[in-house]
Every structure is written in C-alpha cells, then in structure tokens.
Structure 1
Amino acid sequence: MVSHRRPTRPGLDRGVRATVLSAAVATAAAALGAAPAGAAPEETRETAKEAVDRLYTEAERATERYNGARENIGLQRGRIARAQDAAARTQEDINRLRASLGSMAGAQYRSGGIDPSVALLLSSDPDTFLDRAAALDRAGERRAVTLGKLRHAQRKIAQSRAEAAGALAALERDRAALARHKNTVEAKLDRARQLLRTLPGTDREALGRASRSASPGTLTADAPGSARGLAALMAARQALGRPYVWGATGPAGFDCSGLMQWAYAQAGVALPRTSQAQRYAGRVVPLSQARPGDLVAYRADASHIGMYAGNGQVIHAPYPGAPVRYDPVGMMPVSSVTRV
C-alpha cells in the first residue's frame, strides 16, 4: 500500500512511519473518498495533493473567522470602555443632583420643618407676600426640574450598565469563538503537514510553487487605480518573501487579509481586518478593469484575498510555508475586485 511513498527518513522507525502514513491516507480518504485497492501511485499522490490544498483552504477560512472574532473582541472592549465612561460621568451628575436636593431639604429643615407655603401664609408682612410667593414657585420649579434630571440620570446609568454587561457577555462569546477557530486552524494545518510529509520531495516543491495555479490571466492595464492603491502596492512589494503567519498583520509575517490591511495602512487607509469585509471597502470593478493596488477576493465566500500588481499577477500571502509572493491573478476563482 505504501510502496510508492518517498523512502523513509533516517530516525523514524516502522511504527512511526505507519502511523503517519495511516493518518495521511485516512484524512485524504475522508475528504475525497478512499482510493481503490488497486489505485496507482500517481493517483494516490494526486489525492494527497488535493487533500493538502483542501485543508489549506479550510484552514484559511477558519483563519478569517478567527480574525473576525479577534476584531469583534476589540470592538466589544471599546463598547465596554465607552459604557463604563458614560456610567462614571452619569454617576457624577447623580451625585451633584442629590447634593442639590439635599441642600434644598436642609433649607426647609432649618426653616423649622414647616411647609414653606404655610410659613408664607403666616407671615406678618403681607406687603411682600406676592414676591415671596413667586420665589416659592420658582424654588418648587427648581426642585421639580432637579428631580426630573435625577430620574433621567438614573435611567441613563442603568442603560449604560446594561450595555456594559451585554458587551461583556459578547466579549466572552467572542473569546470562546476565538479559541474554537484557533483550534480548527491548528488541527487542519497539522493534518496538511502530515500529508505533505507523505509526498516525494519533487511533489512537495511543485505543490509549493503552484498549489492553486490556474490560467495566468491576460490583464494588461498597469496604471494604478488610485494614488492610495499605488502606495499600498509599493508597501506590499516590500513584504515579498516574508512568511505566512496565520492571524498576523505584519510587519514580520502576514496572513492574506493581514497583508492587505498592513499595506493599505502604509498608504494611510484603514481597512477592516477580514477578507470578507475588505471586499466591500471600496468600489467593485470588473476583473477586466483591475488595476495595480486593487483588492482581488477569491472564492464565493471571499476567504482569500490578494492585491493586483499588474501584468496579470497578484501579490498575496498564500498559505503556511509559502512566503508573500506573486502568483497569477487566475490562480483561484475570483469573486470580486475592489478599488479602495
């Protein structure tokens, strides 16, 4: 069953070899259907290569979900901070209003605890009755206004605290999602590495060069789509050769959307974190009109993204083990082209 495999590396005993190969074959069979008993070595190699490519694709999708969950965590932390700040400011207002009402109550107490209107009616100076009555009305209005403000402030602080509690709950949900997506990515990448080890060295090199290759494309419009796009493209070129690191936004390493976010940040443009959000970060144009600096999203779910570099090529961070590089724009099905 394994006679077509690459000769065993020194240092691995027979049991370890059997474990690795069994895991690789099981993974490929689960995804693509078990190969017939008489399958040719070439068929088995192709099955393994297809499985590696599928695992990289699934890991990339999980990576973008991880990036989205991590971005949401940042948003929830901002919501919590704003709600807590609002609650603190409202509490200061409540303290001030309570102090004001306390002063009014103290003044009434010092007058002997008699209702001010009764005290006015018992006044021995009827000439000033109307003036004092007007003053009493104004004092009553101030108390009513102050009480109204206090009630409003109490409702506002309750709302701020409820928003903070909701954001905290969402934060915990996003943290749990982050852990799940991280585990998914790591598991799929680990299985892909196991499968890669079953391939001969020449096949591994070919997979690295053109794992997702398709027709190279025939685009020729090389004038940049915008000054921002040109600046972002120049930044992306500086990243050529740097490693793919899932969840990373540079400058030492990048995943696909992390490279786009970093490159456009160098041009003074804040892109969202995920490839799905980046595809809506500007004006969508036809692929035939793509210009350098445009974002090229791949697959129907936009789970991969690169930057059109002109001459029918994109710059992108492909997958783990492959550095930032040029590839044909048609390496995968293009879902959209966005001019930022």
Structure 2
Amino acid sequence: MASHRKSRPTGTRVAGIRTPALATAALTSVALLSQSANAAPAAPSTDGNPSLEEVEKKVDELYRQAESATEKYNAAKEKTANQRKRVDTLLDDVAERTQSLNEAREELGSFAAAQYRTGSAVPGTATFLLADSPQDYFDQDQLMGRLTGRQKAAVDDYVTQQSETMEKRREATESLETLTDTQNDLKTAKATVQKKLGTARELLSKLTAEERARLAAIEKKKQEEAARKAAELARQQAEERERQEQAAQQQEDGSSGAGSGGTGPGTGTGSSTSPSAPDASYGTKAEKALAFARAQIGKPYVWGATGPGSYDCSGLTQAAWKAAGVTLPRTTYDQVDAGTTVPLSQAQAGDLVFFYDDVTHVGIYIGNGMMIHAPKPGTYVREESVYYDGESSIHSVVRPA
C-alpha cells in the first residue's frame, strides 16, 4: 500500500528517548535526510541547493515510504511462511499418495499377469501397465467379466486414488506458483526499503555540522510542542475520568436511595461502569504488555524485526501483547482491526495508537499523552508523545483485548 499522505516535517522525534547522546545526535541527522526516489522535487534555495526545511520534508517522505514498504515486507514474509507450510504439507501428501498408488498399480499388474499366464485374457492385457487410464483398459467386457469382486474393487480403488493424487499434485503446483509470486513480492519490498534507506544515508553524508545543529534546534522546538499537546491530552483525560466517576457515584447513590439494598461498600468502581473503560482483566493484560514494552526501551529499530534484540513498530506491539497472552496479527494493517476502536480522549494504558492515513505506524499508549514505540530505522525503542509527528498524523486508537 503506497503512502498517500502529504509530506510532514518531523525531524528525529527524540522526545523522551533513552539512548546515548551520540546516538541521539546521529538520529537527529538521519531523520531529516531521506528523499523518495520518485517524490516531486522541492523548489531549491537561492544558491541552487535545497534549504534545510526542504531537506527535512524530503527526509520525512522517504521514511514514511520506507515504513510502508516495511509493512508490505512483513505481510509478504508472513504470507510466504504460511504458504511454505502449505506447500510442504501438500508435497508430503502427494508423496504418500504416490507410494500408495504405486502399490495399488503393482497389485493390478499382478492381476493382469496372472490372467495372461492362465490364458483367461488376450495378450493385450500386458499393456495395462502402460495405459494412461486403467479404468479404460479394465472396462473392456472381455477382461472385466473375468475379474473377481476383490479385483474389481482394487480397480475402483486405484482409479479413485489416481484421481485424488492428480488433484493434490495440481494443488501443490499452484501453491508453488503462488509461493514464488509472494517471494518475489518479498524481494521487491525488501529492495524498496533498502533503496530508500540508502538514499537517506547518502543525504546524511552531505549535511554540515552547522546544518545538523540547526536541525536539532528545529527538532527541539517540535518536541516541546508535542510535549505541550501531550500534557493537554492528559488533562482532558483526567477530566473525563472524573466525570465518569461522578456519574457512577450518582448512579450508585440513586440506587441506594431507592432502597435497592444489597450494594455493599466498593460496589461502585467509577470508570468500570463506562463503556469506554476496560474491565479488570484488560488492565491486568495491559500491565503485562507495558512491562514488556518498557523492558525493550533502548533496543534498536530494525525493519522486519520481531525481537528479542530489535524491533520494528508492529513487531514491538505484537511481542508486547503476546507477553500478555494476546495474539496480534503481524502488520499494522491487520492490527488496526484487531480490537475495539476508542476515542483518543478515552485512551487507556495498553491501547494501540495508529498513525497516518495508510496506517503504517503503531505505538503502545502508556497514559498522559505518551506512548512507547519503535519509531523508524536508525532509532531506538523509546517513550514519546503521541503528537510526535503532529496531531493530524494520528489515525486511530484500538483496544486489542
């Protein structure tokens, strides 16, 4: 799925990063140096070279496209693995059926040979072993009339086995062709990612120290704005929880005043009565998922990786929720449908936050407008504001369990 979003200047998105200072400086440069091979060129500056802002936009577009290609790679890799299993199963089945078919063929051959020796059939009986269709041969009245019931049953069984074996061979052939196509898709996606990241490295080598410092200053300003928005979201969520708790308390007081009785202390749990609030079991699972995600902070982003030493964005979320006993699909495209969509204002710790129109990035919400995610190549798993790439980049929030 090709990205169809407009380019957004994002810089390196290092707010909340827990990585060495040198790595952070390098990441700041890398995040600003990508360019799509087919992206429309930006207007050059007066000296004929792209301005810092123009480079930043080109870099952002490249990383978005690389991220999209990574998810395509993940999907093709998973599909390849599943198809390979199917092909292996079919080939094993065909081998077993072929062995059984050969044994049945030998038995029928012995029938024909015995009839030839006793003179009960014409010498042409020997051609059975070379016939394309044993049924056509045995359908001849002069031979079928002389077969015993057991021999006729053997003929019928052989014909059935032959038909089933041919069908399985056809399925195996088609599956092999599909596997080849998927492997080609896998190679294409891999080449696309590598090409775009190679372009980023090439652009990185052209930045001067002064330009890197200027870009770092631009990025710092963006981080501050992202942090401000995260704090505002945290305030809104706190107000929402308070309203829910007050509504739950009023409902409990009303029930008690009506003489409902039987409602002992602690029966009203506040947010648990809200349709947007997760139940206790979700909270327990979310805690396990978040504990796992926090333990991965500082590990490098590697496209296509699912751990334990490195991750891409969907590989991290899949592994985190697997640690909580919940199985998520491999790609962002599928993970976004693996749960209940909730408003960002009602996001709970453990929810998945998806980004961009083509749903090519995902992080795990930890509360207070923050998340843990594996941002992009050249970076590390880190905590960061959900507004790290601007408010418009947020696609949806999904509660996976």
Flag whether TM exceeds 0.5 (same fold): yes
Q: Map 1:1-150 onto structure 2 (within 5 A).
A: 31=40, 33-35=42-44, 37=46, 44-102=51-109, 104-105=111-112, 108=115, 112-114=118-120, 140-150=148-158
Residue in structure 1 matching 2:325, options 247, 268, 271: 268
Q: Deviations over 1:229-259 (max 9, x none)?
A: 3322211111011111111111111111111
CA deviations on 1:132-184 (whole Å, 9 max, x unpaired) are xxxx99x7444343323222222222222222222222222222222222222
Structure 1 equivalent of residue 12 of structure 2: none
- Confirm or deny: 8 A CA contact 1:232 1:266 kept in the other structure: yes
Letter of the 1:66 counterpart: Y
Q: Structure 1 pair 83/36, CA: closer, same or farther in 2 (3 Å)?
A: same
* In 2, Cα distance between equivalents of 1:213 and 1:68: 34
SS for the counterpart of 1:200 is helix
Match of 2:170 among 156, 162, 167: 162
Deviations 1:275-304 (A, max 9, x none): 112222233333333222222221222111
Equivalent residue number for residue 126 of structure 1: none
Verify: 1:190 aligned to 2:202, yes or no: no
Cα separation, 2, equivalents of 1:106 and 1:36: 91
Quote the offset at 1:312 in angstroms: 1.9
- Could you say if the C-alpha distance between residues 192 and 206 of structure 1 is closer, same or farther in structure 2, counting changes exceeding 3 Å? farther
- 2:257 corresponding residue in structure 1: none
Unaligned stretches of 5+ residues in structure 1: 1-23, 116-135
Compared with structure 1, are the counterparts of its residues 267 and 289 closer, same or farther at alpha carbon in structure 2 (3 Å cutoff)?
same
Contact 1:275 1:304 in 2 (8 A): yes
Match of 2:212 among 170, 181, 200: 200
Distance 2:344 2:86 in 1: 38
2:66–2:197 contact (8 Å) kept in structure 1: yes
Shift of 1:337: 1.6
CA contact (8 A) 1:280 1:338 kept: no
**Kept in 2: contact 1:67–1:247 (CA 8 A):** yes
Residue 179 (structure 1) aligned with residue 187 (structure 2): yes
Contact 2:34–2:62 (CA<8 Å) still a contact in 1? no
Who is 2:383 aligned against? 326
Aligned residue for 1:242, secondary structure, equals coil
> Partner residue of 1:259?
316
Decide whether aligned partners of structure 1 residues 72 and 29 sit closer, same or farther in structure 2, where only a CA change above 3 A counts.
closer
Amino acid at match of 2:59: V
| C-alpha distance 29-95 of structure 1, shift in aligned 2 (>3 A) | closer
Question: Any conservation in 2 of the 1:28–1:51 contact (CA below 8 Å)?
Answer: no
Report the count of equivalent residues: 294
The CA distance in 2 between the partners of 1:299 and 1:165, in whole Å, is 39
Q: Within 2, Cα distance between the matches of 1:288 and 1:152?
A: 63
Residues 313-337 of structure 1: CA deviation (Å, up to 9, x unaligned): 2211001222111122233322342
CA distance in 1, matches of 2:173, 2:224: 45
Is the Cα–Cα contact under 8 Å of residues 257 and 305 in structure 1 kept in the other structure? yes
Asked whether the equivalents of residues 242 and 253 of structure 1 are also in contact (C-alpha less than 8 Å), the reply is yes
The residue identity in structure 1 corresponding to 2:44 is A
- Residues 30 and 91 of structure 1, relative CA distance in 2, 3 Å threshold: closer
Residue 25 and residue 315 in structure 1: after superposition, are their counterparts in 2 closer, same or farther (change >3 A)?
closer
My pick for the range that moved more, 47-56 or 191-200, is 191-200
AA in 2 matched with 1:339: P
Runs (5+) with no aligned partner, structure 2? 1-32, 122-143, 242-276
Cα gap change, 1:226/1:200 in structure 2, threshold over 3 Å: closer, same or farther?
same
Aligned position for 1:309: 366
Q: Secondary structure at the match of 2:321?
A: helix
Where 1:276 maps in the other structure, the secondary structure is helix
Q: 1:105 to 1:337 in 2, by over 3 A?
A: same
Query: 2:185 is aligned with what amino acid?
Result: A
Q: Alignment partner for residue 243 of structure 1, among 296, 300, 304?
A: 300
The superposition leaves residues 161-213 of structure 1 with CA deviations (integer Å, 9 ceiling, x where unpaired) of 22222222222222222222222212222323344452323524754895897
Alignment-mate amino acid for residue 195 of structure 2: A
For 2:194 and 2:76, the matched residues in 1 are separated by 16
Structure 2 Cα separation of the partners of residues 211 and 187 of structure 1: 29
8 Å CA contact retained: 2:352, 2:365: yes
Paired amino acid for 2:362: I
CA RMSD of aligned residues (A): 3.5
Distance (Å, rounded) in 2 between the aligned partners of 1:28 and 1:173: 25
| C-alpha separation in 2, matches of 1:36 and 1:25 | 18
